[in-house]
Amino acid sequence: MSAPAITAREVALQVCRDVFGPHPRGAREALDYRLRKATLDARDRAFATELAYGAIKMRRYLDFELEPFVGERAKTLPQPIAEILRLGTYQLRAMHGVEAYAAVSESVGLARKYGHKGTAGLVNAVLRRVADAPPRDADLATAASLPTWVVAHWRERFGEERLPAILAGVNAPPAVALAVDLRNADRGEAQNALAGAGVVAAPSPLARDVLVLAPDASAADIEHLAQHRWHLHAEAAALPVDLLDPQPGERVVELCCGRGNKTLQIVSRTGDAGTVLAVDSDARKTAELAKRLAAAGAVSVAVVTADATAMQAEADADAVLLDAPCSGLGILGRQPEARWRKTPDDPVRMALLQARLIATAARSVKPGGRLVYAVCSTDRREGEDVIAQFLAAHAAFARAALPARYAPASTAAGDVLVPPGIDGRDGFFIAVLSRAIP
């Protein structure tokens, strides 16, 4: 007799256990792995994704809702049962298309499979009480299920008026966007190709090679349709290359290139008619980038695995991009587990590395060249403070003028600051600098 098929709810449970287990994994990595092992149709895959990501994001709020009905027992519950209670509560409180009976009964079935009759009875009793009780009044950070210090940071950074929209945005499903490979299609052609497949896409008002898709767009379907005409790339993450504006024939250096979304965007903008040096210290990431470049037919990129802070650079690059490692406070909505893995000290710690990296990046910029510094963080210690320190020590560099289309996102000092969650974007800080010609 074959084992029962794994359900969407069980996939979500497995993902939560992976993320918060003794050997924590990233939510996306865990979800991809669990979905590959399960046989689910598109609807159930979407349900599992929403449930897993939602329960991971809303963990603080879910525990707050469960507290009156679980109490001190929460400290001794086996992890699978605690996660089942959170998943059931998320369905009852946040997934409005799910019937309470289904949320409770399916959770009880999971508790019986991953526990015993007693734990199944506990789950049944607790979730029935949750279903009958109105939501509790919670403070702003608990209701948004974010660390209190993160909410305080965004309040200070963006003001009380914008805070509710930011919190709602980071808890909504992350927006899907793509960067068009201008070697193979222009943005209008890509938009028409997507429309022909029933996918609604709109041009980004900022990045000239990006299309922003409808919230319900399937990332897997978009990749399947690509045929080397585009690659998935979050809108805000595409802004640094848009501001770098690499041109055909230029020499471009990209530090901390990662798996290469921005590298592919650079190749698209140069038409593969220049030279690009892409550097990262993670051999796994550079190996993946090399495969992606080969698949895209790109021949202008040299990929190097190295510590960028130790590089001996010559001032021969027209354009240098540094997408620096950071606290990641701007992408808490895109990475569900990230909010539970950050600490208030992260920005200070990362700023020390960022200062070293931008000093290295500057050595590659030739007179008349440009340097773009970017972090997916909203903390000024990783943004304005790093730039102020750099400019004070490098008199040859100054801020360059931003394109007019960036006016809505520009700061008083002339940098770009994108608040997280607004219009589905991730939070980013970007500075565009130029080196004077002596």
3-class DSSP string for 180-228: ECCCCCCHHHHHHHHHHCCCCEEECCCCCCEEEECCCCCHHHHHHHHCC
Per-residue model confidence as pLDDT tens digits over 88-111: 999 999 998 899 999 999 999 999
Give the integer Cα–Cα distance in Å for 125 and 130.
9
pLDDT in tens, 125-155: 999 999 999 999 999 999 999 999 999 999 9
pLDDT score for 3:
56
User: Cα Rg for the chain, rounded, in angstroms?
Assistant: 23
Distance (Å, whole) CA 128 – CA 69 = 10
Q: Phi and psi for 190 in degrees, rounded to 5? A: -65, -40
Do the beta carbons of residue 61 and residue 86 sit within 8 Å? no
| Residue linked to tokens 């055909």 | 248
What distance in Å separates the CA atoms of residue 342 and residue 49, rounded to the nearest whole number?
23
Would you call 256 a catalytic residue per the annotation?
no
Query: In this structure, what is the dihedral angle of CA atoms 327, 21, 130, 112, given to the nearest 10 degrees?
Result: 160
- The pLDDT, as a whole number, for residue 438 is 86
Which pLDDT does position 337 carry in this prediction?
97
Closest among 178, 204, 187 to 403, alpha carbons compared: 204
d(CA 47, CA 43): 6
- pTM over cut 0.75: yes
- In this prediction, residue 1 carries a pLDDT of 43
Spatial separation of the C-alpha atoms in residues 42 and 59, rounded to whole Å: 26
pLDDT for the residue numbered 5: 80
CA gap 1, 24 in Å, rounded: 33
Cα(83)–Cα(230) distance, rounded to whole angstroms?
Answer: 38
Give percent of the chain above pLDDT 70.
99
Q: Which two tokens stand for residue 416?
A: 């770009």
Backbone angles phi, psi at 208, to 5 degrees: -75, -10
Helix (H, G, I), strand (E, B) or coil at 435: strand
CB 406 within 8 A of CB 204: no
Q: Which residues are annotated as a binding site for S-adenosyl-L-methionine?
A: 280, 307, 323
Which one of the listed residues 16, 256, 326, 376 is annotated catalytic?
376
Dihedral over alpha carbons 420, 424, 426, 432 (to 10 degrees): -100
Query: Do 65 and 89 meet the contact criterion of CB atoms below 8 Å apart?
Result: yes
Residues of the chain with pLDDT under 70: 1-4
DSSP string, 282-302: -HHHHHHHHHHHHHHT--SEE
Between the alpha carbon of residue 168 and those of residues 162, 339, 432, the distances in Å are 10, 14, 30
DSSP3 helix / strand / coil % (the chain, rounded to 5): 50, 15, 35
Residue 364 contacts residue 313 (beta carbons within 8 Å): yes
Rounded distance between C-alpha atoms, residue 94 and residue 334, angstroms: 18
Bind-site residues: 280, 307, 323
Nearest C-alpha neighbor of 259 from the set 295, 210, 218: 295
Beta-carbon count within 10 A of 23 CB: 5
